Structures are given as structure tokens and as C-alpha cells.
Structure 1
Amino acid sequence: FFGDDEMFGSRDRRSLSLGSGVIISSDGYVVTNNHVVGENVREITIALPDKREIKGKVIGADPDTDIALLKIGVTGLPVVPWADSSQLKVGEWVLAIGSPFQLSQTVTAGIVSATGRANMGFAAYEDFIQTDAAINPGNSGGALINSRGELVGINTGIYSESGGYQGIGFAVPSNLAKRVVADLMQYGGVRRGSIGYLRIEKLTPELAEELGVANTNGALVSQMMRTSEAYDAGVRPGDIVVSFNGTPVDDPSQLQRLIADSKIGSTATIKILRNGRTMEVRLPIVSSASPRVRR
């Protein structure tokens, strides 16, 4: 139990995390998943395709989207160009590139199964590309590439009952990853829109019937701070948010994304249902390092 006579106590608790990454600039910026980097990381080693292993540092991380930005002191690196992920079509061919089970530079092929997937439980801010390209442990943080060789997503996770590949994988869209990376480069964190702290819930059929509304579309405000911008503007617990700046709100996850993506300093107009009546409320969008809207 004690080992050497001069040593006693617990074993070394350092952990090793393995994953993949994508070089996005010739001067050494690398994108990966936040869960690959982990918390309180002391040392990062990045293995390049030419077998070089370079010490890297964390520039910033965003747990809400599971994106992290790393930097290595190397120049002249090959770069994968960003694609416009909003142009992705269901059925389009894609390639997943990474190092599953430490098998470096593995490429698997599949199609885009769906876009805009949310409520998966991977991250606070979810707007995933779903693909059936094989994604396994070690693929996290790797590239999802379209047929033109452009980066359309950062592979993040899988849905599996066995722990292995079952044909359902998820990637952070390139447009979202690119926006997060820009903030991490400039601020070291992500600046998002906020309307102050409030807790929102999904409308179930039972809640909808109790509140006297016709369907389950919208987001129910269940709790909020009196100091929040939403409260100052007139929003109250029990209100159902049904649209945000003219966009119909289907569920709390969508409302969270709409608020987070709003321009800081702008004014938003939301439509709410209260006691069977429809009301419009204008409220300011303030800056938040991470969204305070919770589900």
C-alpha cells in the first residue's frame, strides 16, 4: 500500500486527455473542444501531421459551445479554410478527420443527417450538425470537412448507448466556431448578448393546458432576478416568450441562442403571452461573458 519506505500517500492524480484539433492559421492557432483541454490543464502537447510534437498554450475556452483555442509557436503551417455552414444541406457528403483511439489522421465519410440540433445535453449553447460519419473517442475537436475541402464543423460528440459509434455524431457548425474563435482571440472569452438572469422552461402539454395556451411553442419564464434587464422592461415569471425580434420561439434552447447572438447595445422586441393576452416588450441587450439564461 505504501510503496517505497520513504514515500506514502495517494498516487499521482494527473490525468491524460487525448483528442484532435484543427489548424486554422499558418501562425499556429488550433481549434479543439473545451472538453479535450479540460480544466486546470498544466501542459498541452500538439502532435503535427509531420510527427513533430509541440508544446502549446490555451488562448481561451468557451464551455458553453465546447470550443477551445490553442496556440503553438510554429509558422508556415497548412490551413484548412472555413466554410459557410449555413449553406450545408441535409444529404451532403462530409468527412470526419481525427485520431480515434490514437489512430492519427483517420478519415471517415458520411452525410449531413440534420442541422440545428439542440437539447442534446453536450453544451449550454447547442446548434449542432448531425452526421453519420463515424466519430469515436479521440475524434473530439477534429474537423468535419465538406467535399470542397472546407471546414464545416468541429466534431464534438456522439449519441450512443454502447459508448461507441452508432451512426449519430454531432459537430459545432463552422460559423459558430469561427465567431467563438474571433472572441477568444480578441478578448480571451466570448461576449454574448444577455437580458439578465432568468430561468426558462419548456412548455409541456400539461403546462400549456394549465396556462390556457393552445400549443407548447415558446419558452416559459419560471424565475428571474429583480435586478435583470428583463424585469426592468416588464417581463415577469409566468410569461411565455413566443417571439424574439420577429422570430417565432419554439423552445427555450432557441430563445437562449437568439439572445446570445444579439448585438450588444441593441434593443430587442419580444412578444409574450400573459393571462391569455399578447404583449410586446422592448428590452436592452447587455454584454455577458457567458449567457445567464438557463434551462
Structure 2
Amino acid sequence: MIRSALVALCLLYPAAPVLAESLIPRSQAEISMSFAPVVKQASPAVVNIYAQKVVERRRSPFASDPFFSDFFRDLGPSRPEVQNSLGSGVVLTDDGVIVSNYHVVGEADDIRVVLHDRREFAAEVLLADQESDLAILKLVDAPKDMAHLQLRDSDTVEVGELVLAIGNPFGVGQTVSSGIVSGLARSGTALGSGRGYFIQTDAPINPGNSGGALIDLNGDLIGVNTSILSRSGGSNGIGFAIPAKLVAQFVDQARDGKTRFERPWAGMGGQVVDAAMAETLGLDVPGGVIVAKLHPASPFSEAGIVVGDVIRAVDGLPVNTPPEMLFRMSVAGLGADAEVSYVHDGREKEATVHLIAAPEDPPRAPVTTGRDAPIPGLSVETVNPAVVAERGLTGDIDGVIVTEPGAIGARVGLLRGDILLAVNGAEVADGAAMEAEMAAARKRLDLTLIRQGRQMVLRLRL
């Protein structure tokens, strides 16, 4: 019995080292299994950006008044004030083309870019767009053969993919955080100036990460970090990144010499098809965008689409909100032919839509009032589809937009961007009509206008 026990013990004893060896890495590849190789490859292409902007600040006596502050914001002495912003950027070409966020560098007077090796270079903005919250920069006197990231087709990104966010949070220096793609086709949920379509991630994105890289495990750029949605204001929220496919369009337009991003014009208004609407329309499942209105010159109208049709996909990819559809059109680009799938009278149909820029029809016809006008020096332009697209206006608007209120106009409460609809109750379709109505005014001048989506009337005594 004792001999048998000893044999059994001898047989069991070697099993322990075998189990221990299976838990120890047995090769250099297993020891190096981490994000380190990807970070080492990608981090030199992520830069820190310091931007300054000088603005004129006026201290109005009505600054604290919730009503009169809008009317008299230009009153009071002015003084220059320097605004600083901190963010990140991603080098996209070996000659120093960089992408960042508009809210980091937009309208900046001085931009300094700090590379991974701490060298500093001045940069200039080639193209910027507040609506997309993207800006393309170019280094002045860029070094040769700069490290840069390749753009991946963001339409191939899937929920659940591991991603890394690289940036300069809080100005502490380059930092890397990891997470997964937690959602796609997010629209209307991100904070900041960007509107549209976003990649959602749970990788922490803090102040200063804006404009930084969201990369996959191959080190390719899939998105530009732009904001985080958090109840506490910390990094324990969900982050949003602008897809690389849209970034590619920005780079192409910047290389073509464009200074303003030109996106295709839909010339239509749409609404999300929810479950209740889908049942009313006889659709099997909710989804798509129902056409609520169409401009006569809309390319969708020319392709045979009418009010009441439901657009389900653009270029084979589903669209469920108006921002998604605009994103699909933007990545296709001006001059392209987009294949649109839609439902008409319960039947699935296809149409080819030629993507065009917003037309300048009617002409802007800029007008500036003369010295003898009730409001001299007032400059306006006729509102047309191109103006609506440039200014991000919503709704059907007929009137003139104030481009420069002039000294008297600013004093009586007019602001740049006001949409003037009528003078003394008479509608004004263009600058000439506005001038004629002002010239006919005698004792009073009632200006009906739209400001930030609200209609109001300015009443002046002459």
C-alpha cells in the first residue's frame, strides 16, 4: 500500500510544473501582446494644437438683461481680448496636411502645432466648416516625410471593434485611451458645433482630445474625436468621432483650393419615419426619411421623387434621419451620381440623383442703403438656396439677410444674420424692394425680422 501511494505521488508531482508552464508566456510575441506596437506606430502622427484668436468685446449696459441684451450687444466701449483654445490634430500626408476640429482652430489668428518630438511649427487653415466641426490645416515650412495616418473607409467599421483614442487631454501631453465602437450612425446627439453623423465609442475623450485620432488596431484612422456626452462632465460618458470618410472629402476639397466646404444640396425637407408613421404608410418596419417638401430645383425632384416618398438608402447604405442622408450625400461629393432607394405608393423603387451645389437662384443682388435712407449703410443680400445652405438656415424663407447693419443699424438693434421679412408690413423679396419701402416710410419704420429662429418686430420713429 505504501509503495502504491508513493507511485501515485510521483505520478501526480510532475503535473504541477506542466500546469504552471501553461500560464507563463512562452514566446516574445505573447509577452508583447498589447496595444504598444499600434500606439508606437500611430502616435507620431497625432499633434497638439494651440490656437489664439483676438476678439473685440463690448460691455453693454444691457448685458445682463435677457431681452435687451440681443438688441444692444454692440453698445458700450470695446476692448481686445485674446481667446485661447487647446486641442489635437492628425497628420494625414507626409507634407504636413492636418485635420482637426473647427471649434479648436476655426477663425484663429495664430495657430501653433507641436509635433510628437516637441518641434513647433506655425500652421494655416486651408478649409474649415463649422457645421461639420472639421478643419484642414497645413504646416508652414513643414519637415519632410512626416509621419501620417492612413484613412480607413469608415463604412467598414463595425460595432464592437477595439479602438484607441489618441490626443492631448487637459494639456498634460499625449495620452492614449482604449475602448470599443459602441454605436454607428449617431446623429443629433453630440455636443459642440458639429451636426450630422458620428461614430460612437466608449474610449474616454476629455477636453483637449478634440481633433485627435480614433484608430483601429491596424493603426488606421477611422474617425476624428470631437466631443463626449456625459452627465457629470467627466470622461465617463460616450464619445463621438467624425467618420474618416467625411474627412477624406475635406482633404480632397482643400487640395482643390476650396476654402469653404461645399456639400451637395438636397433641396428637400424630410422627417424620420417612426413606428406610427410606418404603420400609416403601410411599411413593414419603421425606417427611412419621408419627403415632406421639395424645392422646384431639387435634384431629387428631377429624379422623379415626390412629396410623400420614403427614402430608405443612398448608395446602398440605409438612411434613417435627415443628417444621415446629408452625410451620405457629402461623402459621395458634388458632381457624383447617387443611387437612391425609396418607396413610392408602397413599391420599392430606384433613382439616380445627380448631386449639385445649392443654386444661386434668385441672385443674391447685394444692396447697401445710401446716406439719405432711414438706416444708412445697411447691407443686405437676397436669401436663396445657396445663402440658406451657407448660413445653416431652416425652413422656407423669403426675404433679405443682413450682412452689415451699419453704425445706425447696429444702434437701433439690427445684427448680422437677421432675416428681414417686411418693412412697414410690406414683404421684401430683395434688396431693391427693401430700399423702396424704406424710402416710402414717413413717421415710423417697422422691421419684421427673424433672429435665431424667432420672429420679432423692431419699431423705429423717424
> Residue 30 and residue 263 in structure 1: after superposition, are their counterparts in 2 closer, same or farther (change >3 A)?
closer
Question: What pairs up with 1:109-128 in 2 under 5 angstroms?
Answer: 109-121=178-190, 123-126=194-197, 128=198
User: In the aligned structure 2, how far is the partner of 1:24 from the partner of 1:263?
Assistant: 20
Q: Are the structure 2 counterparts of residues 265 and 162 from structure 1 closer, same or farther at C-alpha, using a change threshold of 3 Å? A: same
1:54 aligns with 2:130: no
Number of positions where the alignment pairs a residue of Structure 1 with one of Structure 2: 285
Higher helix share: 2
Letter of the aligned partner of 1:145 in structure 2?
I
Equivalent residues of 1:269, 1:280 under 8 A apart: no
Q: Give 2:88's match in structure 1, choosing from 4, 10, 20.
A: 20
Amino acid at match of 1:197: G
* Alignment partner of 1:132 is 2:202: yes
Correspondence for 1:218: 288
**Kindly tell me: are residues 90 and 267 of structure 1, through their superposed partners in 2, closer, same or farther at Cα, counting changes over 3 Å?**
closer
Q: TM-score if structure 2 supplies the norm length?
A: 0.54
Deviation at 1:26, TM superposition (A): 3.1
Offset at residue 279 of structure 1 (A):
6.5
Matched, 1:164 2:234: yes
- Deviation string for 1:108-152 (max 9, x for gaps)? 2223333443342453331x3322221101100011233343333
> Matched residues, percent identical?
35
Compared with structure 1, are the counterparts of its residues 186 and 125 closer, same or farther at alpha carbon in structure 2 (3 Å cutoff)?
A: farther
Q: Give 2:135's match in structure 1, choosing from 46, 68, 77.
A: 68
Q: CA contact under 8 A between 1:60 and 1:185: conserved in structure 2?
A: no
CA radius of gyration, larger in:
2
The correspondence for 2:163, drawn from 94, 106, 122, is: 94
Alignment of 1:177-256 (within 5 A): 177-188=247-258, 189-194=260-265, 196-244=266-314, 247-256=317-326
Deviation at 1:57, TM superposition (A): 0.9
Cα deviation, 1:162-217, whole Å, max 9, x if unaligned, reads 222114112223333233212222232444444x4111111233433444544322
Please state how far the C-alpha of 1:160 moved relative to its aligned partner.
Answer: 0.9
1:142 maps to: 212
The code of the aligned residue for 1:215 comes to V
Instruction: Give runs of aligned pairs for residues 249-268 of structure 1, distance below 5 A.
Output: 249-262=319-332, 264-268=334-338
Q: Per the alignment, do residues 272 and 151 of structure 1 end up closer, same or farther by CA in structure 2, a change over 3 Å counting?
A: closer
Contact 2:87–2:209 (8 Å) recurs in 1? yes
Higher normalized contact order (CA 8 Å, seq sep 6+, divided by chain length): 1
Contact residue 123 and residue 137 of structure 2 kept, 8 A: yes
Root-mean-square deviation (Å): 3.3
Alignment partner, residue 9 of structure 1? 77
The alpha-carbon distance between structure 1 residues 206 and 13, as it changes in their structure 2 partners (threshold 3 A), is: farther
- CA shift, 1:266, in A, is 4.9
1:243 offset after TM fit, Å?
A: 4.1
Structure 1: stretches of 5+ with no match in the other structure: 3-7
Q: Is 1:79 the counterpart of 2:147 in the alignment?
A: yes
Change beyond 3 A, Cα 1:248–1:68: closer
Cα distance in structure 1, aligned partners of 2:332 and 2:285: 26
Deviations 1:24-76 (A, max 9, x none): 233322211112123x3222222233334332210101334322111122213
One-letter code of the match for 1:49? Answer: H
